[in-house]
Amino acid sequence: MDAEAFATVTAESLRQMGGGTAVTAPEWLGDRRYRLLERLEPGGRVWRAQDAETDRTVVVRLHRPITERARRQAFLRDAEILRGIEHHGVVTVHDFGIEDGVPYLVMEELDGIPLSHLAGGSGGLVPAPLLVSIAAQVARALLACHLAGVTHGGLDMAAVMLLPDGAVKVTQFAPGRVSGPGGARRRSAGTGRGAAATGGRHHAVGASAATAAVAASAQKPPDRFRHSPQQTSVPASQLPDGGLEAAP
């Protein structure tokens, strides 16, 4: 049975979102629990919303419609695993479900910028220690997901959020995309058995992709993300035991 859903959206509305026209969305979702406040991307798939029960601001991400039962189950299984992951490098998933064939995730709101935005800067490079830190943090976040039994499903620079303190969080997961029918992974939900069997390969690819993405985005960041000149080099003797990391 599908998880209880709050969003009143349809496959047709999602098809409209793929076009260039604006989408008229309901003000409230889920028995007036979530109030949509602001569309966060032109396509209309990502919204800032207010949770009336907890009085917190959340982000609602709508995924492309799915109709096959196996893919629906794959999405719900992976989303449940994501909700259970507690890792400082992985965005927190508060809720999820499928409404009228449209999968959705409810996540924490992050105060940061995606690495893809750094590529638009000019002049000055991101300090080398920050680059190393970002790559290491992304690799650890991906490893935590793989060990839990879920993969990202579409990692790129836009899916890595840089926070003002130098920490990063991996976002924009695509639950069910990799572990669905015909996928390479096979595991029992929540056990991580599939990740154990193929985790080495996934981790290696993920770490390489993270490093390449970070290197490609090595441009001048906005002022509030810029480290001081004194941080352009760090003696090895001053590195923490766990490696260079901007935040715990």
The Cα–Cα gap between 162 and 114 comes to: 6
Kindly state the DSSP code that residue 81 receives in the 8-state scheme.
H
**Lowest-pLDDT range of 51-65, 122-136, 224-238:** 224-238
Report whether 234 contacts 246 (CB < 8 A): no
Q: Give me the pLDDT at residue 125, please.
A: 62
Q: pLDDT for 109-141, tens place per residue? A: 999 999 888 755 544 466 788 889 999 999 999
For the cut 90, the answer to whether the pLDDT of residue 203 exceeds it is: no
What pLDDT band is residue 29 in, cutting at 50, 70 and 90? low
pTM over 0.85: no
Q: ∠ CA(40), CA(43), CA(49), 5° rounding?
A: 35
Domains annotated on the chain, with CATH: 18-108 (3.30.200.20), 113-238 (no CATH)
